[in-house]
Structure formats: C-alpha cells, structure tokens
Amino acid sequence: MKGHHVRLDLATAAPEAAPDAAPRPLLEIRGLTVSYPGPTGPVEIVSDLDLTVGRAERVAIVGESGSGKSVTARSLLRLDRRATVTGSLLLDGTDLLALGEKEMRSYRGRRIALMLQDPMTTLNPVLTVGSQVMEALRVHGVGKAEARRRAIAVLDRLGIPDAARRMRAYPHEFSGGMRQRVCLAMAIVAEPDLLIADEPTTALDVRVQEQVLTLIDSLVDELGMGVILITHDLGLVAGFAERVAVMYAGRRVETGAVDELYRSPRHPYTAGLLGSVARVDRDDPLRPIPGSPVMPTARPVGCAFHVRCAHAEADCGVERPEIRLVGHSDVACHHPLALREGA
Amino acid sequence: MTPKDLALFVVRRLLLLATTLLGIVTIVFLMIKAIPGDEAQAAAGLTASPEQVEAVRRRLGLDDSVLQQYVGYLGRLLHGDLGNSIFTFRPVASDLSGLIPYTIELVVLAMLINVSVGVPAGMLAAARHRSRVDDSVRLLAIFCGALPTFWLAMIGQAVIGRQLGLTPISGVATIGLDVPRRTGFLTLDSLLAGNVVAFNDALAHLVLPAAVLSIPFMSFVIRVVRSSMITALEADHVTAARAKGASERTVLVRHGLRNAIAPVSTLLGLQIGWMMGGAVLVETVFNRPGFGSYLTQAVAHKDTFAVLGMVLVVGVIVTFVGLVVDLVQLVADPRVRLLEARRA
Amino acid sequence: MTTVAIAATASRPRRKRLPVLDVIAFGAVVVLLAMAVAGPWLAPHDPYQVRLDRALLSPSGDHLLGTDGLGRDVFSRILVGARSSIFAALLAVSGAALIGIVVAMVATIGPRWLDDVVMRLCDITLSLPVMVMALGVAVALGPSLHSAIVAMIVAWWPGFARLARAEMRTVLTAPYVEAATVLGASRARVMTRHVLPNSLDGVYVQATLEIGGATLIMAGLSFVGAGAQPPSAEWGAMVENGSRYLSSAWWISTFPGLMITLTALAFALAGDALRNRSHPDSTLG
C-alpha cells in the first residue's frame, strides 16, 4: 500500500497478520492529539500518538490514571464533543476524523465498538438487558425480530444461561460477571472490526476477570476483529496482547512485542510499572514507582517522567526525547535501559 | 415483580393513604377547634338567631367532650357531610361537587401546558449543559418562578384579553352557548352534545387562565427535568449508548428522560395539589366559578365549614394523586420496583 | 513538536457563574431590605392620606408612580409597603425554619417511633398546598397579616424539618461526631455542640431561596383578602386594590406587582448563588 508509509513502530506488527501482499492495518493512528478546553486555554491530554492495530490483533495500551489512555479510547470513536482531536485515524484506509457526524455515528458500534469499565453503570438500570443489546443493532437499522434473534445468539454464545428468557431481565437482576458479559454482548453484537475494551475487568474479581478476557480472546479468533485493551495493569496484558504501548502523561513512551517488553523493558517507566507488578518469572521484590503521575495540565519541561525517574540525567529535564528504535522496541528515552542479561 | 408483590404494594399504599387521610382530617378538625369564639355561631353564621345557633349546637354535638365531637365529625365525613355553607345555605359537599369540574379542567390544561413546555425546555438545557442555552433556560426558569400568579393573571387579562382581544376576558363560557350538563366538565359536555362551537368557546375561556397558572410551575419542572437529566446523561450507560451509534435524540429520550421519570413524576404529582392552590388566585382574577373562587368567597364571608371542607377535599385529591404517581413509577422504573420488593 | 508546559493551574475547568448577576442579585436584596427598614422616612407623601381630588393621577413629577383610587401616592405606598411585604416573608420563613430545626432535632435525638410520627406529620402537612392550608388557617384565626404569617409557618415548617433532619443524620455519621461520642459526651451535648452547628448550612441556603416564594404567597394571600387588610400598603393588597382600575389606571396594580416580582427574583437569584457557592458541583438549579 504505497499511500501509507509504514512507520518504524510497524516493524513489530502482528505476527498473525495475513501474509499475502503488504497487509493494510485495520487501524492506523497517526499523530493523534486530543485537547480539552481548560481554564487558561486548551490542554493537551494526548499528544502525537502513533499506533497500529492489525486484523485479529490484540494490542494493549497501558498507563496509570491520567496517562490519557481512556481519552484515547473515547477519541477513537469521537465520543466527546468538547474534545479537539487532530491527527489521523485510518480505519481500513478511511480517516475517521474526516467523517461527518452522521457517518461517524454509523461507524460507532458497527465498525468500532467500545466496552467500558464498570458493568454496574454501563447498563441503563431502567431498560431491559435485551433491549440494550438489541439497541446496538436497532440504531443501525436492523429490524426488531432480526435484532432480537442476534442478541439472543450473542448472549447465548457468551454463556448467559437461558438467554431468550433473560432478555427481559433488568441489569440489577444480574451478577457483576454476568453484567460484564452483557456489556461485551452489547459491544460485539453488531460484529465490529475493532473492539476497544477500556479497563473491562477492573471492576470484577480475579476469577471473573479471567473469564471475560478468555471470552474476548476467543472472539478475536472467531470474528477476526482487532482489540485494543486499555488497562493500568501490565500483569493483565501478559497473557492477552501481542503488542503493548505504554503511555505516560499523554505520550507513548514505549511500544513493543509483549514478551520483548516484559523480558527487557527499555524505558525506565515501563521497568517501573513491571516492578510494581507481581511476576511469576522473577522473584524481585515489588517496588512501586516513587511519586505520583503528572497531570496533563502540569507536564514538566523535557521528559515528562524525569521527575520520578531514577535514571534521569541533566538533559532529561531540558529536551523531550523523541521516539526511536531501541533493540526491537520503540522508546522515547534519552537513556534507555540496556538489554537485560538472559533476555 | 409478581402480581402478588403488586397487590401487596397497593395494599401497603392504601394503608398509608388511610393514615394520611386521618391525619388531614385531624388537622382540619383541630383548625375548627382553634377558631376563637363560639363555634356554633360560626357554623350557623353571624346573622343567625339565638334559636338557630342552639339548633346547630345540638346538631353538631358541641356540648359533648372533644373526643366525642371528633368521632362525630369523622362519622359525618364518612357520610359525605362536610357541613353547611353559611353563605350559600347549601351543604358544602354538594356546592363543591358542582364546582370542582371547572377547576379540574383548568388544572388539567395547565398541567398539559406545564409539561409540554417545561419538559422540552429542561431537556434542552440538560442537552446543552454548561452552554449559553443552558444558562438562559435556567434564568428563564428562575424568572418564571418569581412571577406572582395573580398579577400575571391581571396583566394577561388586560393585555391579551382586553387590549388585543385574543381571548375572552373572564368566565367559563359565552352566555347563550349552553350545553346540557352531564359530567360537569364544560369541554366534555359540549363534545358529548356534539357542539363544536361550545367546545371551542369553553377552550378559549380556558387557555389564558391555564397558561397563566402553568407559568410558575414550569419553573420547577424545568429545573427538576434539567438536573435529573444532567445526572442521567453523565452516567456511563450514555457513553455506551453513544458508542453503539445511537443518535443524540435516542440518547436524550431513551437514556436521559427515561431515567428521569421518577423524580419528574414525583414533582408533577405534588404540583397537581399546588395548582389547586394556584387556581384560587387565577379563578378569582378571571372570575371563573370553581373551587378557588368558592374558597375565596368562603374566606371573605368567614364561611368556616366551606373553607375547611375544601382543605379536606384538596388533601384527599393530593393523596390519591400521590398513589397514582407511585403506581406510575412502579411501572416505569425497575429501580423503584426493586426498592419496593426489598421493603416487602 | 513543542513541549507542552502549562503552569500548574490544576483547577478543574468550571463554568463561569455569571458573577455579574450574583452581584446584582445581592445588591437588590440589600436595597430591598434597606427599603423595608427606611421606607417610611423616604416616602415623599403620606401613604395613607386619602385625597379624592388627587385620585387616579397618572405618573408625574409629583407622583412618580401615580396615585390610586383614593388619591394616595403609589410610590410612597410601595416604599412603606416594603416593610409588611418583605418582613412578613422573612418572618414566615425564619419562623418555619426555626420550628423545622427544633422538630428535626427532637426527631433525631428522640426514639425511633417519635421520628416516624414526626416524619408522617410532615408528609401529611406537605400534602396540603400552602395556599389552601394558609387560607384555612387565615379563616380560623381571622384574616390579617399576622394570621397569614402564622399560616405560612404552619404550612412550611415540614419542608425545613425534613431538610434539617436529613442533614443532621448525615452529620451524625461523621467521624468527629463519633469521636465525641466515644469520648463520653452526652447525646444532648453532641447534638448542640457538634451536630447542630454543622447541619445548618443547607437550611440557611434553603431559607434564602424560600423567601422569594414566601413573598409571592404572602402577596397572594393578601390579594384574596386573607392577609394584610386595607388600608395597609402591603403590595399584594395594593395589586388587588388597583385591579378594578386596571384599564384606566394601570399604574396602581402594575408597580406593586413589579416590586413583588423583583423581590422574589432577587431572593431566588441570591439563594441560587449561595447554593452554587456551597455546592459548586450541584447541578440543581
């Protein structure tokens, strides 16, 4: 595909992507910048983000709260009217940012779906579960009977027992795990090409987390859809995604294949995140990253992380590091960590 | 919620309703007792002869103990006896039953105007939350709430009725346009008689008073719709609906207004009672027969039993409207059902 | 790519609260209160002096807002009437708030059944429209400004009682109250020293908001003859008095009506501003 220059971060593209021809990625995010009106002018929450997702590829965006990961998720669907979104969002070659609002609406749910964090609040308490799943089809012009049939099929596929009868139930009659299955059903019933799952398991207990991730995982293979998993939990990513993008203060600081990044993180922030995650393959003590995440309204000059970084040197507080290829990962750091021994 | 739960709910509400009614009756009874001076004289009227006053005293059992009087009062109420008016010389109950339809027509139309303007305005403000439109609607709502009904009625009557001649100035119907009285509701009766001219005439007499009556009430409707919609629209399920590709209209109605039904219906239920209070002023200005003008006359003539009878009637109406509101919420909002099921 | 380095103004973006309007509202409240206090001294004419030779004069230099059917100066009557109109509303609201607070305290300290009874009583009273209830009280006590005030207190205390009770319940669960209880403070002491002072903010704000509404109802009661009696210069009574001249001498009713509107509006806006200040995130309004 001549028109789309392949950037460095594509070097580690999905291993499962179709081998024939040059594969056009499902989603190509280039220079995504999102800003919100603030008291003293617009505030950039996400800056200059590049990321690609292939068909049937699982990509994770990881970061602490305030890193801009959820804003990224919402801006892919252009959900917030107050936000100013620039850059380009190519879905199958179509720039979503160039679409009119009406066209964009026809993409939401049908081409790109969003699954939210808390199943308690993601479901409308006064509407039946069935009508909410069906809504995702009805708003795109699917007939009532057809929508009902497909909704039951999806609920059934996601392991809701007696789905046809449970369509008439209200959200409060479901357990947390079942509710999140309903949310997943709402997201995938229209068979989108891309599913964005924003912290889909944070509100659930560990056992149910596992089940929901397994379900999403199996759907990727069945439907061939791409998934962006947004999470603060790097531990969750290990068994799920092929590639990870780590975000800090609205910028991508490291992107790489998941095992690569796990084995040998190059950015001190990634290393810090890994240090604060319990790992089976190492017996290092858990070390939280000192300090707290910077707010997008108060990013320091230079590398946004340098105030918390143990490896920071004088230049870190002066010039912001650009993304560059280090080993097999893209890293935005003046002093990337060396390859770990044994890696 | 099973039919059995629903039946239990209705029974529980009816019991509550009974205690409320008893409470209202007690308050009214205590008000009668609080009147300084001779109650028999008050009941018989200031112009009554000593013999007449004595007769009333015997009939009402005013020489008995207060408790016996209370029981007697309850007994008379159960027979529909609200006492006699000292002004019309007729039983208050029969006076009221003839007049209340006029007031109900007024309140119903005012309520329709109230809802059909207030709800969309509140929705608009919520949909444009924190915008100039929102600010303007909020200010307009506060302004509507600051207008004195009787003054607005007078100005409306003078400008729209008299100066511009757009509506009739006063009364409920043009003389000569009579229709046979069946239900007591002029609009309904003229329709039953197939008399379109009389129907239009009755409606024309209703429009301005109803509009004036509705304006202060809109203030509350706008504010409650706005704030409960804003709360509803901030919820994640609204983001989820937008992410499904739902249009703004669907989002506003299905995920905003639908979730605001409980607080809004509670307010509307309360407003029906308040409107009966507001009707007092509007009916006086527009010289419409009805509950309100009867009440004002009764106050002017110190017609104790007429006034207190009406306090009671309004209390009963408000209480029953409250029951209807509860049932509406039970049907419309599963959260209310859940709450009730837990309480059962 | 430029580095974004915005100074640490981490305040969340808040809508401007139309401060100009707030200032105007508070200013208007001050002016109205001043009028209520100083009205009689400011009046250019005797508000009660009947001069039939000067009846129904339209607004002019001598009579700024004209004269009424008995030749009384409307401007002077409005100035003097401010006292009964505004003070009556203030009195009614503060009386209702005071009773509400006391009842709420009793309900909060007292046994469970007492609380139930009090709340039921509130529900019952609230089911009677203020206007109707007030007319009932007015006829029971005989129509006068005083009975109108009593009537409003009777009809309005339950609203304040419920609000105060809800706030007290919330404060009761606060850690510092628990601490005081653990340290052995008596229930009465906990209530008066800790709970009461910390649960009144909401009541004050509500009271300010209600003064506007009270002005309207008070005027309405006078208008139908259940409040201030002639020749009182109460604004509602003045509107009523002018109603029969509306087509020939519009000024008699129009100006007092405008004053009622202005008063209600000023207190409503001031109350709204107060509430927004105490709960900046409140979407009520």
pLDDT, one tens digit per residue, over C85-126 is 899 999 999 999 999 999 998 888 888 899 888 888 888 888
Which residues from chain B sit within 8 angstroms of residue A126, using beta carbons? 258-259, 261, 332-335
- Among A156-170, A328-342, B1-15, B329-343, the range of highest mean pLDDT: A156-170
What b-and-e string marks burial along B66-93, b requiring 16 or more CB atoms within 10 Å of the CB? eeebbeebeeebeeeebbbbbbbeebbb
* Domain-wise residue ranges, chain B: 1-87+306-344, 95-300
Structure tokens at B186: 């002029």
Residue C12 lies inside a defined structural domain of this protein: no
Mean pLDDT for all residues in chain B: 86
Range with the poorest average pLDDT among A161-165, A225-229, C132-136: C132-136
* Rounded Cα gap, residues B13 and B320, in angstroms: 10
Subunits with 3+ Cβ pairs within 8 Å of B are A, C
Q: In A, what residues contact C, Cβ < 8 A?
A: 36-41, 43-44, 47-48, 295-302, 320
Of B243, B259, B334, the CB nearest to A113: B243
Do the Cβ atoms of A135 and A122 come closer than 8 Å? no
- Which CATH number among 3.10.20.740, 3.90.226.30, 1.10.3720.10, 3.40.50.150 corresponds to the domain B95-300? 1.10.3720.10
Which residues from chain B sit within 8 angstroms of residue A195, using beta carbons? none
Residue C66 lies inside a defined structural domain of this protein: no
Residue C67 lies inside a defined structural domain of this protein: no
E-strand stretches of A107-222: 112-115, 194-198
How near does any CA of chain A get to the CA of C168, in Å? Answer: 30
- Whether residue A136 and residue B245 make contact (CB cut-off 8 A), yes or no, is yes
User: Tens digit of pLDDT for each residue in A173-214?
Assistant: 898 888 989 999 999 999 999 999 998 887 777 788 888 888
Of C8, C13, C14, the CB nearest to A298: C8
Q: What is the pLDDT of residue A16?
A: 47
Subunits with 3+ Cβ pairs within 8 Å of A are B, C
Structure tokens at C83: 């006292």
Overall pTM surpassing 0.80 (yes/no): yes
The single-letter DSSP state of residue A190 is T
Per-position DSSP letters for B25-58, written without gaps between them? HHHHHHHHHHS-S-HHHHHH-TT--HHHHHHHHH
- Whether residue A297 and residue C10 make contact (CB cut-off 8 A), yes or no, is yes
Q: Please compute the mean of the pLDDT values over residues A94-108 and round it to a whole number.
A: 91
The helix (H) or strand (E) run that includes residue A47 is strand A41-53
Domain extent for C115 = 19-44+72-278
Residue C122 lies inside a defined structural domain of this protein: yes
- Whether residue C225 and residue B299 make contact (CB cut-off 8 A), yes or no, is yes
Please name the residue that has the structure tokens 């068909």: A55
Q: How confident is the model at residue A12 (pLDDT cuts 50, 70, 90)?
A: very low
Which residues from chain B sit within 8 angstroms of residue C143, using beta carbons? 299
In total, how many domains does chain C have? 1
- Grouping H, G, I as helix, E, B as strand and the rest as coil, residue A90 is strand
Which residues from chain C sit within 8 angstroms of residue B271, using beta carbons? none
- Whether residue B24 and residue C128 make contact (CB cut-off 8 A), yes or no, is yes
Q: What is the pLDDT of residue C89?
A: 92
Q: What is the pLDDT of residue B33?
A: 76
Of B149, B299, B319, the CB nearest to C143: B299
Contacts 24+ apart (CB under 8 A), C278-284: C278/C201, C278/C202, C278/C205, C280/C14, C283/B129, C283/B226, C283/B227, C283/B230, C283/B231, C284/B223, C284/B227
Roughly what angle, to the nearest 10 degrees, separates helices C130-141 and B261-286? 50
The helix (H) or strand (E) run that includes residue A102 is helix A101-107
Of C121, C125, C135, the CB nearest to B280: C135
C-alpha distances out from residue A110 to A121, A140, A279, B244, C11, Å: 22, 8, 38, 7, 38
Q: Write the Ramachandran bin of C249: left for phi over 0, alpha for psi from -120 to 50, otherwise beta.
A: beta
Residue B147: exposure state from Cβ atoms within 10 A (0-12, 13-18, ≥19): buried
User: Tens digit of pLDDT for each residue in B74-125?
Assistant: 888 888 888 888 777 788 888 888 888 999 999 999 999 999 999 999 999 9
* Rounded Cα gap, residues B4 and A336, in angstroms: 69
Do the Cβ atoms of A133 and B244 come closer than 8 Å? no
Q: Smallest Cα–Cα separation from C263: which of C28, C106, C22, C63?
A: C28
Residue C6 lies inside a defined structural domain of this protein: no
Structure tokens at B321: 């409207």
Residue C264 lies inside a defined structural domain of this protein: yes
Which residues from chain C sit within 8 angstroms of residue A297, using beta carbons? 6, 8-10
* Rounded Cα gap, residues A277 and B289, in angstroms: 79
Quote the longest CA-to-CA distance of chain B: 82
- Whether residue A298 and residue C7 make contact (CB cut-off 8 A), yes or no, is yes
Q: What is the pLDDT of residue C5?
A: 34
What b-and-e string marks burial along A308-329, b requiring 16 or more CB atoms within 10 Å of the CB? bbeebeeebeeebbebeebeeb
Please name the residue that has the structure tokens 């003539």: B301
Backbone angles phi, psi at A52, to 5 degrees: -125, 150
Range with the poorest average pLDDT among A252-266, B257-271, B295-309: B295-309
Is C144 at the interface with chain B, CB within 8 A? Answer: no
Of A38, A299, A300, the CB nearest to C13: A38
Stronger pLDDT, A253 or C194, i.e. the higher one? A253
How near does any CA of chain A get to the CA of B228, in Å? Answer: 14
Q: Write the Ramachandran bin of C56: left for phi over 0, alpha for psi from -120 to 50, otherwise beta.
A: left
* Rounded Cα gap, residues C252 and C255, in angstroms: 6
The answer to whether residue A276 scores a pLDDT higher than 50 is yes
- Whether residue B247 and residue A123 make contact (CB cut-off 8 A), yes or no, is no
Enumerate the H helices of C3-142 as residue ranges: 19-42, 74-109, 112-126, 130-141
Read off the amino acid at residue C111. Answer: P
Q: Please compute the mean of the pLDDT values over residues A110-117 and round it to a whole number.
A: 91
Predicted ipTM > 0.90: no
Range with the poorest average pLDDT among A153-157, A294-298, B135-139: A294-298
How near does any CA of chain C get to the CA of A326, in Å? Answer: 21
* Rounded Cα gap, residues A325 and C170, in angstroms: 57
Structure tokens at C261: 């509107």
- Whether residue A40 and residue C6 make contact (CB cut-off 8 A), yes or no, is yes
* Sign of the torsion formed by the C-alpha atoms of A314, A320, A325 and A331: positive
* Rounded Cα gap, residues A43 and A37, in angstroms: 6
Of C127, C142, C240, the CB nearest to B20: C127
* Number of neighbours of residue C224 by Cβ within 10 angstroms: 26
* Rounded Cα gap, residues C234 and A76, in angstroms: 63
Q: Smallest Cα–Cα separation from C157: which of C215, C97, C88?
A: C97
Q: What is the pLDDT of residue A14?
A: 44
Tell me, what CATH number does C216's domain have? 1.10.3720.10
Q: What is the pLDDT of residue A343?
A: 45
Cα C110–Cα C114–Cα C118 angle in degrees, nearest 5: 115
Q: Smallest Cα–Cα separation from B214: which of B282, B114, B122?
A: B114
Range with the poorest average pLDDT among A235-239, A284-288, B74-78, C43-47: A284-288
Q: Before A15, cis peptide (omega within 30)? A: no
Closest Cα in chain C to A42: C6
Structure tokens at C213: 């509404």
* Rounded Cα gap, residues A337 and A317, in angstroms: 18
- Grouping H, G, I as helix, E, B as strand and the rest as coil, residue A104 is helix
* Rounded Cα gap, residues A24 and A193, in angstroms: 14
Which residues from chain C sit within 8 angstroms of residue A300, using beta carbons? 5
Which residues from chain C sit within 8 angstroms of residue B34, using beta carbons? 140-141
Beta bridge partners of A62: A231, A246
Q: What is the pLDDT of residue C197?
A: 83
Of B236, B244, B245, the CB nearest to A121: B236
* Rounded Cα gap, residues C237 and C17, in angstroms: 36
Read off the amino acid at residue C105. Answer: M
Closest Cα in chain A to B329: A126
Residue of A102, A120, A126, A191 best to disrupt the B interface, most CBs of B under 10 A: A126
Residue C118 lies inside a defined structural domain of this protein: yes
Q: Please compute the mean of the pLDDT values over residues A89-104 and round it to a whole number.
A: 91
Mean pLDDT for all residues in chain A: 84
Which residues from chain C sit within 8 angstroms of residue A36, using beta carbons? 13
Task: Spell out the per-residue pLDDT of chain C, length 285, in tens.
Answer: 333 333 333 334 444 555 788 889 999 999 999 998 988 888 888 888 888 888 778 888 788 888 888 879 888 898 988 888 899 999 999 999 999 999 998 888 888 899 888 888 888 888 788 888 888 887 778 888 888 899 889 888 998 999 999 888 888 877 887 888 888 777 778 888 878 888 888 888 888 888 988 999 999 988 888 888 888 889 999 988 888 888 888 888 899 999 999 999 999 999 888 887 766 544 443
The answer to whether residue B271 scores a pLDDT higher than 50 is yes
Cα A143–Cα A144–Cα A148 angle in degrees, nearest 5: 115
Range with the poorest average pLDDT among B139-153, B184-198, B208-222, C125-139: C125-139
C-alpha distances out from residue A318 to A293, A301, A307, A315, Å: 19, 6, 12, 5
* Rounded Cα gap, residues C168 and A335, in angstroms: 58
Residue of A107, A124, A198 best to disrupt the B interface, most CBs of B under 10 A: A124
